[in-house]
């Protein structure tokens, strides 16, 4: 079977570092879906305005992981929620290292623009996709069928993400709109570092809306280093 993108995702996150590990964790993070010419018609979205959420089926297009043994793909991965040291079966995780590199995300529809230069566009929030991600299909989220509040969640039931306290200098805050400041704070408190990293002196960098933000983490506090102070180091 050959599948081709129906469209692409547009996000202020242009690198893998800093992307939320699941959809819905950064509810203020905005993005939009534009369609390829064959699907650039409003009739394909007719009725979608009556739904609040959609499922996106997409590709981990920037994941260039290669199996060490092509005859037998790796069937275990190391979930970051478990510290990156415990192996679990790939089909028991949301790991990006998947046999067909396909991702599945539930995102909220913020707005549908029906008539733009690119055809209809779906604006969404809460996506865990980087800029340029190919979208292969879109399906409406159905609460009566897709919501199972009493379902067991495996190892995620006993491990939760510990959010960080975030400190952003005034200089950085003043350079951002209130909406972008809120979103940046939301992304940083999710702790974008690899979970096995714990070096308080290490400087990390994350790109958001074309701007690099550097930070350190010590004792549960993430401190953004403003560009001026960073350049002096």
Q: What residues contact residue 123 under an 8 Å CB cut-off, 6+ apart? A: 30, 31, 32, 109, 110, 111, 112, 113
Domains and CATH numbers, the chain: 7-63+101-146 (2.40.30.70), 165-231 (no CATH)
pTM: 0.89
The pLDDT value given to residue 68: 44
**CA gap 13, 105 in Å, rounded:** 16
Residue stretches of the chain with pLDDT short of 70: 64-72, 227-233
Q: What residues contact residue 44 under an 8 Å CB cut-off, 6+ apart? A: 35, 120
The pLDDT value given to residue 227: 60
Q: How big is the chain by its Cα radius of gyration, in Å?
A: 19
List, for residues 122-166, the tens digit of each pLDDT value.
999 999 999 999 999 999 999 999 999 999 999 888 887 889 999
The pLDDT value given to residue 54: 98
């Amino acid at each position: 079977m050959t599948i081709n993108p129906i469209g692409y995702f547009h996000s202020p996150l242009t690198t893998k570092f800093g992307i939320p590990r699941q959809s819905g964790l950064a509810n203020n993070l905005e993005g939009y879906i534009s369609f390829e010419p064959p699907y650039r018609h409003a009739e394909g979205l007719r009725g979608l305005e009556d739904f609040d959420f959609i499922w996106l089926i997409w590709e981990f297009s920037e994941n260039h992981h290669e199996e060490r043994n092509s005859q037998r793909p790796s069937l275990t991965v190391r979930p970051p929620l478990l510290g990156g040291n415990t192996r679990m079966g790939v089909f028991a995780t949301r790991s990006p290292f998947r046999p067909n590199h396909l991702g599945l995300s539930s995102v909220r529809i913020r707005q549908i623009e029906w008539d733009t230069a690119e055809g209809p566009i779906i604006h969404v929030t809460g996506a865990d996709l980087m800029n340029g991600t190919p979208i292969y299909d879109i399906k409406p989220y159905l609460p009566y069928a897709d919501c199972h509040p009493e379902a067991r969640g495996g190892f995620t039931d006993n491990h939760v993400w510990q959010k960080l306290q975030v400190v952003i200098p005034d200089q950085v805050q003043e350079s951002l709109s209130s909406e972008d400041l809120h979103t940046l704070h939301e992304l940083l408190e999710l702790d974008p570092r690899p979970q096995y990293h714990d070096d308080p002196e290490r400087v990390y960098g994350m790109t958001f809306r074309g701007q690099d933000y550097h930070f350190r983490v010590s004792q549960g506090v993430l401190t953004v280093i403003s560009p001026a102070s960073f350049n002096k180091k």
